[in-house]
Amino acid sequence: MAKIKYKYNQELVSFDRIKMSMGERFLRFLAYFTGSLILAILYGVIFTYLFDSPKEKVLKRENEQMRLQYELLSKDLDKVEKVLAHLQETDDNLYRTIFEAEPIPTSLRKGGIGGVNRYEELEGYDNSRIVIETAMRLNRIKKKTYVQSKSFDDLISLANEKEEMLRSIRAIMPISNKDLTRTASGWGYRIHPIYKIRKFHYGMDFTAPTGTDIYATGDGRVSMIRSSKRGLGNHVIIDHGFGYQTVYAHMNRFNNLRVGQKVKRGDVIGFVGSTGLSTAPHLHYEVHLNGKKVDPANYYFSDLTAEEYERMIELAMRSGQSFD
C-alpha cells in the first residue's frame, strides 16, 4: 500500500493531504527507474569484471590450450632448427669438401621472404604475436629445408660425377711394368736422340719389345687415331673427360680401334712399336690436363707403392736421353 503524505497548514492549523500530479508521478517513476538501471549496469560491470561467463571460461580455456600447444610447437621447431643447422654445417664442411664443391652462400641459406605482408590475416587477435612468430619460423625452416634438399640433389649428382671421374682418372701404367726396368726416360729436359740437342721431354718413355700390349690408363673415349711415319708415328689420343687426355705414341699397330669408341681402364688399345721419330721400340706416353701437358708420373697410384714410385722416378731421371 502506497504511503500517504501530509503537509501542515499553519493558517488552518491542520494537516492537508499532499496530492501529486501525473507529471510529478512520472518524473518520480523515471528517477527511480533511472537509478535502478544505473545500479543494475554497475552491478553487471562489476560482476563481469570479477567473474567470467561460461562462454568466456570456455574461450579462455581454449586460448590457454592453444598457447601451450604453440609453446610445445616452438620447442619442436628449436629441435628441427638444430638438426637443420647440423645438416648445413656437415654439407658445407664435409660433403662439399669431399666433392670439391663450393659451400652454399649464407645469404642463400638465410634468404628472407620479402614482398607483401604475408601475415596480415593473422593480425588483430589476442595471440597474434605468438601465431605470427611461429608462422615466420615455419616459413624460414621451409626455405632452409628446400635449399638443403636442392643441395643434396646437387651432391648426388656430384657423387655420380665423382664416381665417373674416378674411373676416368689415369691411375695405372700404360704397359705392364711391375719390375720398372722398362722405364727409359721421364719428364724433364733430355738429349734428343736424333737432333742431339737438349730438349724438354713432355711425357714418359717405356721400353718394351715390339708387340707388347698397351693399356688405356683410364675410362674414356678414343678421340684420335693417326698413322704417321713422322713425329709421334702411329698414335692414339683418348679423351677421359674432366679436362684430361692421354697420348700413346710410336705404336706398332692399333687394336681394332675407331674414333668415338669407348674404352675402359686396362683395355688393350694397341701394341708397342717404333714408328715415327723413334730410335727403338718403346711407348711414349703423355697426360694432358685442360690442353696442358702434365707429368704422367703423378697418375700411377693404382699401380705403384710409394717406394716403387720413388724407384720409377729415379730410373726415369737417370737416363739423359729420350727415345723420341
Reduce the DSSP state of residue 301 to 3 states and report it. Answer: coil
What confidence tens digit (pLDDT) does each residue in 20-64 have?
677 777 787 788 888 888 887 887 777 777 766 677 676 777 777
* Amino acid at residue number 309: Y
> How far apart are alpha carbons 130 and 206 in whole angstroms?
76
Supply φ then ψ for residue 224, to 5 degrees. Answer: -155, 140
Q: Determine the pLDDT at residue 324.
A: 57
Domain 183-318 CATH (choose: 3.30.460.80, 3.30.930.10, 2.70.70.10, 2.60.40.1080): 2.70.70.10
Reduce the DSSP state of residue 267 to 3 states and report it. Answer: coil
pLDDT band, very low/low/confident/very high, at 310 (cuts 50, 70, 90): low
Q: Determine the pLDDT at residue 312.
A: 57
Q: Determine the pLDDT at residue 2.
A: 56
Q: Determine the pLDDT at residue 138.
A: 82
Best CA proximity match to 244, nearest among 171, 322, 303: 171
Mean pLDDT score across all residues of the chain: 77
Q: Determine the pLDDT at residue 112.
A: 57
Q: Determine the pLDDT at residue 264.
A: 92
- pLDDT, average across residues 15-21: 68
Q: In the chain, which ranges are E strands? A: 6-9, 14-17, 183-185, 188-191, 198-201, 204-207, 213-215, 220-226, 234-241, 244-254, 262-263, 268-272, 282-289, 292-294
List the domain boundaries for the chain: 6-50, 70-168, 183-318
pLDDT band, very low/low/confident/very high, at 109 (cuts 50, 70, 90): confident
> How far apart are alpha carbons 19 and 262 in whole angstroms?
128
Q: Determine the pLDDT at residue 305.
A: 56
In this predicted structure, the answer to whether residue 152 has a pLDDT above a threshold of 70 is yes
Q: Determine the pLDDT at residue 92.
A: 75
Distances (CA, A) of 217 to 67, 170, 302: 67, 5, 10
What confidence tens digit (pLDDT) does each residue in 202-260 have?
888 888 889 999 999 989 999 999 998 888 999 999 999 888 999 999 999 999 999 99
Task: 77-80: list long-range contacts, CB under 8 Å, 24+ apart.
Answer: 77/134, 77/137, 77/138, 77/141, 80/141
Pairing of strands 198-201, 292-294: unpaired
In this predicted structure, the answer to whether residue 318 has a pLDDT above a threshold of 60 is no
* Whole-angstrom Cα Rg for the chain: 48
In this predicted structure, the answer to whether residue 322 has a pLDDT above a threshold of 60 is no
- pLDDT, average across residues 275-287: 89
